[in-house]
Structure 1
């Protein structure tokens, strides 16, 4: 996008192109996560709801959405972590990010071990709390305690 849009006459900053690119990438992966979750709701569950006299809206609200969302959470959590790690593609269009900054510092000061260790620590500080929150959410949804 960053290199193709100017050919079409659209001029956007690197930050905007990077964000739009991640939105498209994340949207595609998230849509697949939701699709997999909703396809995981069995026909017998839907038929049971119909047997109870539920209309389409009630089936969606009380049967398909709760189960489909619960089945989608693991895939969505993995996709969120994947997108955070994919921010390194920003360096291709000259947006500084963690890995690129660490490589610049290594090039300036020739201290690779220290800066690579700091890079690992920075990613750990970002990802470990996120992973803990997503695991907590996954357990809550899995055991039906989300509304409590």
Structure 2
């Protein structure tokens, strides 16, 4: 699968899979900032990526974020295939959930991207559903 992308500055790393078995590629930020405890801030990646038709680009946190006390503010990001204009840059909202300030450095890999095939549902309203009630949240123990 060929994925067109554009770097908004020449020093942005080209997306790559770090190992032959990797299913996701890393995304680094191009801004420097210090995140105070509890602070949220938007960081640029310097990349415009055109998600191929029939796919979605999922942006997920890197596991190392947990030990740093930072997270993606929205948990994961969903990048639709029609978010591909000339200035539709991938951006990451970071949230410092730690007790101390965290210095985010230019080039730091914060998130990972994964292309996933999608299926669009056709919704059909019915008056009753065949499955029995299960009781709601946490019903399997």
TM-score in same-fold range (> 0.5): no
TM-score by length of 2: 0.24
- Bigger relative contact order (CA 8 A; separation at least 6): 2
User: Which one has the largest radius of gyration?
Assistant: 1
Higher-strand-fraction structure: 2
